[in-house]
Amino acid sequence: MPTHTPVATPAATEVTESREGFEYEVADLSLAEAGRHQLRLAENEMPGLMALREEFGASQPLKGARIAGSLHMTVQTAVLIETLVALGAQVRWASCNIFSTQDEAAAAVVVGPAGTVDAPAGVPVFAWKGETLEEYWRLADRIFDWTAEGFDGPNMILDDGGDATLLVHKGVEFEKEGSVPDAAADDSAEYRIVLETLRASLARDPQRFTRMAEGLLGVTEETTTGVHRLYELAASGDLLFPAINVNDSVTKSKFDNKYGIRHSLPDGINRATDVLMGGKVAFVCGYGDVGKGAAEALRGQGARVIVSEVDPICALQAAMDGYQVARLADVADQVDILITGTGNKDVVTVDDLLGLKHLAIVGNVGHFDNEIDMAGLESLAGVEKIEIKPQVHEWRLPNGRSVLVLSEGRLLNLGNATGHPSFVMSASFTNQVLAQLELFTKRDEYPTAVYVLPKHLDEKVARLHLDALGVQLTELTPEQASYIGVPVEGPYKLEHYRY
């Protein structure tokens, strides 16, 4: 086992009765003013969300919605939360990553635009930067406890990565069985904590999640990893409520996943290491939308980029975009910067890490920390872990080399930096709000299955962001529209069109 100096994390302040029906756990409420200034600037860069406030604020279409949110607690997410509230929703929120919370944003949301540090009047948030895994899952469980608000639970979920959805489904499964099983020998340390979290829940209330699931109108899922989980549940017949796959809205996946990563990946590497990327060899695992953004960003910094792929179509795209396509094992000894962005597991093995150049930088912009075999690295005989600074660790390997692992294999763009910029997140989060509106206001139109937003809403999201960039659309004449078989006002593409 390695020697290990733990990352210093702030002690969370828990206030459960600051006013009737209001509770929260954040690092430091005194950061609220700084957070509010950042929210104010972000609102100017998030025209989609602000347009939805203007369109729907008076009619309050989300009145009665009780949303349990599990998504990175950043400044941009704060604008999303306050948009949901402006449309009438009640919200409880936790982060979906132990390192991604911006503590000033969490504090600002708790205090609220009309509250003070001494009399917070915002939204219950349960998150701080640098949570332990035990804390993470305890806080995730708290978004389902609505007793302070006088309810048995939420009726909507807004998820990123599927952890909130997982808790409900596993909770229902184990409540039906009457007990939580013991961990299997090959279960991860994190899944063991999930089991303990659910074991404690079942001991408190043996039908808690079963009752909750019956009242849930649906979930809107933000990212590729969580979407995979939803489709697996649907295929097995185990999906408990309707789901909207927000990730595959064009204005999410083709913008957040690509242009967001193009901005936030080099930001994270720079803040973590201050290493010049120009002239270095960078290896990107995966050439989906995230991988495309990562490769473009690294090439833009002057790195020589190599890509790996399992999909022949994506591999051909990479080759025709001018990248070398190779297997990591064949070129590992050339690699200075190694980035994963696949959404899969075991993409980078311990053997791969042992084969890298001395002090190669290793990071992930997928979702979970199992893209890189962090558990295998942790258990490697003779390895030593040294904290350079928070979320930057040198791992001294038994072969005499070292690798620099960012954010312990979790999302480096959020752990080492502040994630995607506000404008691109406005597009993603506008999709989220529209998806919540669809499920909550049109519940009879969405039987239990996984859906994507209709094309006209995808185009609406894009339209809401054009003026801010000075874009002037060309308009079809009626004759032109008739010629290609589309309405003058759109939608302009068939559902299967690949942008």
Residue 495 pLDDT? 86
Residue 21 pLDDT? 62
- SS3 of 128-144: CCCCCHHHHHHHHHHCC
Q: What does each C-alpha distance from 263 to 273, 298, 310 come to in angstroms?
A: 16, 10, 25
Strand 22-26 relative to strand 281-285, pairing: unpaired
HSE (CB half, 13 Å, CA atoms) of 490?
17
* Fold matches, 16-252+420-455 and 259-416: yes
What would the pLDDT profile of 33-52 be if each residue is shown by its tens digit?
Answer: 999 999 999 999 999 999 99
Residue 4 pLDDT? 33
Residue 16 pLDDT? 43
Residue-by-residue pLDDT tens, the chain, 499 positions: 343 332 334 444 444 444 556 899 999 999 999 999 999 999 999 999 999 999 999 999 999 999 999 999 999 999 999 999 999 999 999 999 999 999 999 999 999 999 999 999 999 999 999 999 999 999 999 999 999 999 999 999 999 999 999 999 999 999 999 999 999 999 999 999 999 999 999 999 999 999 999 999 999 999 989 999 999 999 999 999 999 999 999 999 999 999 999 999 999 999 999 999 999 999 999 999 999 999 999 999 999 999 999 999 999 999 999 999 999 999 999 999 999 999 999 999 999 999 999 999 999 999 788 999 999 999 999 999 999 999 999 999 999 999 999 999 999 999 999 999 999 999 999 999 999 999 999 999 999 999 999 999 999 999 999 999 999 999 999 999 999 999 999 999 998 898 9
Strand 219-221 relative to strand 156-159, pairing: parallel
Residue 3 pLDDT? 36
Is residue 120 a contact partner of residue 42, using CB atoms and an 8 Å limit? no
Decide: helix, strand or coil at residue 309. coil
What would the pLDDT profile of 10-30 be if each residue is shown by its tens digit?
Answer: 444 444 444 556 899 999 999
Q: What does each C-alpha distance from 447 to 41, 278, 395, 444 come to in angstroms?
A: 39, 51, 49, 7
Residue 369 pLDDT? 85
DSSP category for residue 211:
H
d(CA 148, CA 220) in angstroms, rounded, equals: 24
Of residues 258, 231, 68, the one with CA closest to residue 163: 68
> For residue 386, what is the enclosing H or E element?
strand 384-389
Which strands make up the sheet holding 304-308, listed edge to edge? 324-325, 304-308, 281-285, 337-340, 360-364, 402-406, 392-396, 384-389
Query: What's domain 259-416's superfamily in CATH?
Result: NAD(P)-binding Rossmann-like Domain (3.40.50.720)
The top-level CATH class assigned to 16-252+420-455 is: alpha beta
DSSP category for residue 6:
P
Residue 368 pLDDT? 83
Residue 112 pLDDT? 98
What would the pLDDT profile of 201-259 be if each residue is shown by its tens digit?
Answer: 999 999 999 999 999 999 999 998 999 999 999 999 999 999 999 999 999 999 999 99
What residue spans define the domains of the chain? 16-252+420-455, 259-416
Q: Give the contacts of 301 (CB within 8 A, at least 6 positions apart).
A: 266, 277, 278
Is residue 223 a contact partner of residue 160, using CB atoms and an 8 Å limit? yes
Residue 367 pLDDT? 77
**What does pTM read for this prediction?**
0.93
Query: Tokens 């990730």, residue?
Result: 247
Work out the burial of residue 471: count CB atoms within 10 Å of its CB; fewer than 13 is exposed, 13-18 middle, 19 or more buried. Answer: exposed
Is residue 158 a contact partner of residue 67, using CB atoms and an 8 Å limit? yes
d(CA 136, CA 163) in angstroms, rounded, equals: 10
* String of DSSP letters for 470-488: T-------HHHHHHHT--T
* String of DSSP letters for 83-123: HHHHTT-EEEEE-SSSS---HHHHHHHHH-TT--SSS--S-
Of residues 70, 436, 429, the one with CA closest to residue 217: 436
